[in-house]
Chains A and B, each alone.
Chain A
Amino acid sequence: MITLDTYDLAIAAVLVLLLALLSIRLRTGIGGQLVIAATRTAVQLSLIGLVLKALFASSHPGWVALLSLFMLLIAGREVMMRQERRFRGWWGYAVGTISMFLSSFAVAIFALVVILGDEPWYAPQYAIPLLGMLLGNTMNGIAIAMDRLTQSAWEQRNIIEARLMLGEGWDKAISEYRSKAIRSGMIPIINAMAAAGVVSLPGMMTGQILAGAAPVEAVKYQILIMFLITTGTGLGTLAAVTIGARHLFDSRQRLCLDRLRGT
């Protein structure tokens, strides 16, 4: 395995810097953002590297749980911020966060205990990267699906209400938009699975191979991760959209768009 030193990373950073200069020169308006984002990557990843190093050394379940919780809360905030018409108040945060907790944590623990079977099962070397990948993808799925759900309820309020007026239950009145929301949340991961190995070499596998792992071993891990991510994203999206769709209606089955922001 070729280890990288600071000098190697500095060369790569120069490339980004050149791109930023070019962008500023062309007045694209993203030169500044590019530099800030690149800096964030360097700082955030360096910090998590140090955290993981300390965590691996101690392996205390409390620390693993604390870091997991921290990751969950950040992902929950991200899901909330990406929705244009999210639910008002704590609901806006809770729907995504609870759904991610249910799906990502359940799938991660299942994989750690049943499939990987390391001792102890919460060993941070496996638990944290696995949970990170699950949360990252589930977060995307839930954010897309919830944005789609709340947006279509807002835009199609006339149709939903017309169906209610004709005596349909809330469940049926929103069913089409609920299915579409779930579908749009899951399409990215389905596409990623379909293109894996043919169009794209997934990042995790590539990383393992670059770090010196045998390709066949890396592929096995990648397949495992893909399946786990798909399950996690699917369950999380289903949970979020199901809870969210219900919360769009009150106990008398009225469409309550005043529960969404920007109303």
Chain B
Amino acid sequence: MSKTPPLLQIKDLSRPMLGPVSLSLAAGDCLCITGESGSGKSQLLRAIADIDPHGGELWLDGVSADDIAPEQWRRQAGLLPPESSWWLPRAHDHFVNGMPVALAELGLAEAVLEQPVSRLSSGERQRLALLRLLANRPRVLLLDEPTANLDVENTRRVEAVIDDYMKTHDAAVIWVSHDRTQVARVANRHVELRDGRLEELAMEVRQ
């Protein structure tokens, strides 16, 4: 019997105070994680991206993480942290492979690329950080509150860009959100993190 392996499979992932967590995602899945602050949502994403040491096993397209070089793994399971970091003077300098999506789709003017990063608003930096991540063409997006600093209009734009990316690239998304209405808009699966354990919640069918 042959079956295509899930895009991302996680078995017994654990950190001190977290897990064991097991889940699997197919292409096109958008899994939202909610939970109180301090419940370990960010920790879980960091462990999946292999930024923090952890127990358990992960597979991408059926290939064990142990057989994938860490740089390669992080390119494919791309993490967007809540606060973006920049190490070169202008945002433009961070995009060596060009723009994955037109800036206007995220409500950004071309000029933001040339300004010093320190002069940009946190909302502009957050959207640019998303673009920087998408430029790597990750298979799985690990998004830690990607719309936290945005107004309603830009929140919708970000949601649309992520949805579009997922469909055109056969990607999957794990999305940490505080906003239940956002979860209802973007997710096809919803889990809650309580005391370090995941509980899958029923999801209204999305059309």
Q: Are B74 and A165 in contact (CB under 8 A)?
A: yes
List CB contacts (< 8 Å) of A148-187 with chain B. Answer: 158-159, 161-169, 176
Question: Which of B19-27, B77-85, B107-115, B184-192 forms part of the interface with chain A?
Answer: B77-85
Please give me the 5 A-B residue pairs with the lowest Cβ-Cβ distance, nearest first. Answer: A167-B75, A162-B85, A253-B70, A159-B85, A158-B85
Q: Are B74 and A254 in contact (CB under 8 A)?
A: no
Tell me the B residues contacting A by CB distance below 8 Å: 49-53, 70-72, 74-75, 78-79, 81, 83-87, 132-133, 136
Interchain CA distance A22-B75 in the complex, whole Å: 64
Say yes or no: is A217 at the interface (Cβ < 8 Å to chain B): no
Closest to A253 in B: B70
Interface residue count for A (Cβ, 8 Å)?
17
Tell me the A residues contacting B by CB distance below 8 Å: 158-159, 161-169, 176, 250, 252-255
Q: Are A167 and B50 in contact (CB under 8 A)?
A: no
Given contacts A167-B74, A252-B50, A252-B53, 20 further A-B contacts (CB under 8 A): A158-B83, A158-B85, A159-B87, A161-B81, A162-B81, A162-B84, A162-B85, A162-B87, A163-B87, A164-B51, A164-B74, A165-B81, A165-B133, A166-B75, A166-B132, A167-B71, A168-B71, A253-B70, A254-B50, A254-B53
Which residues from chain B contact A168 at a C-beta distance below 8 Å? 71
Q: Are B52 and A167 in contact (CB under 8 A)?
A: no
Q: List 22 A-B contacts (CB under 8 A).
A: A159-B87, A161-B51, A162-B81, A162-B85, A163-B85, A163-B87, A164-B51, A164-B70, A165-B51, A165-B74, A165-B78, A165-B133, A166-B74, A166-B75, A166-B78, A167-B71, A167-B136, A168-B71, A252-B53, A253-B71, A254-B70, A255-B51
Q: How far is the CB of B192 from chain A (nearest CB, A)?
A: 25
Q: Are B72 and A167 in contact (CB under 8 A)?
A: yes
